[in-house]
Amino acid sequence: MSPCPWCEYLKHLYSKDFEAEIRQYIDSLSQDIKADDETIKARLSACSSCEDCKNGMCRYCGCFVAARAAKKQLSCPKPSEPRWTNIHGQAIYDDFEEQL
């Protein structure tokens, strides 16, 4: 009997090191599309207090937030109240500073 593609795919997933893959992906981004470190940290700080971020993943886009935050042209997909809207403004930055 031919193998079930879904079962085979899931077997593969269970053996995966997601964290290493995300780090590798972020490291592979070229400088012209990568956000600066300050922006990434501020974004992740906003994500960490968001109720729609579970296990490092955003429910609105299915992204690992660490990967999404690393691409400068992307925005927060949360409807109506995007958490990154004021990313260059004082509100989120202050919050980030406090956490530090």
Partner 1 sequence: MANYTINAQNKKSVINKDIYGHFSEHLGRCIYDGIWVGRESPIPNVNGVRKDVIDALKQIRIPVLRWPGGCFADTYHWMDAIGPQSERRSIENKGWGGVIEDNSFGTHEFMDMCEELGCDAYLSGNLGSGTVREMSDWVDYIAGSGDSEMAKLRRKNGREKPWKIGYWGIGNESWGCGGQMTPEYYADLYRQYSHFIHVCGGDAFSSLFTRSVKQIASGPNSINSNWTRVVMDKLSQDVYGLNLKQKRFMLDGISLHYYVFGGDPSDLMTGKLKRAGDFDEKDWYKALSGAAAIGPIIDMHDAEMSVFDPEKKVGLMVDEWGMWHGVEPGTNPAFCFQQNTMRDAVIAAISLNIFNKRSDRVKLTTIAQMINVLQSVILTEGESMVLTPTYHVFDMFKEHQNATLLDSSIEARDIGFEDAVVADIFESASVDTDGTITATLCNTSMSEAREIEAAVNGVRIKSASARLLSADAHACNTFERPNEVRIAPCPVTVTPEGFSVSIPAGSVVSVTLSV
| Sites of contact with partner 1 (CB under 8 A) | 1-13, 16, 18, 22, 25, 54, 57, 59-64, 67-68, 70-71, 73, 76-80, 82
CB of 93 to partner 1, least distance (A): 23
Q: How far apart are CA 21 and CA 32, in angstroms?
A: 21
Give the span between the Cα atoms of 23 and 66, in whole angstroms.
9
Angle at Cα 85 formed by Cα 69 and Cα 49, nearest 5°?
Answer: 65
Whichever of 79 and 100 has its CB closer to partner 1, that residue is 79
Minimal distance, residue 43 CB to partner 1, in Å: 13
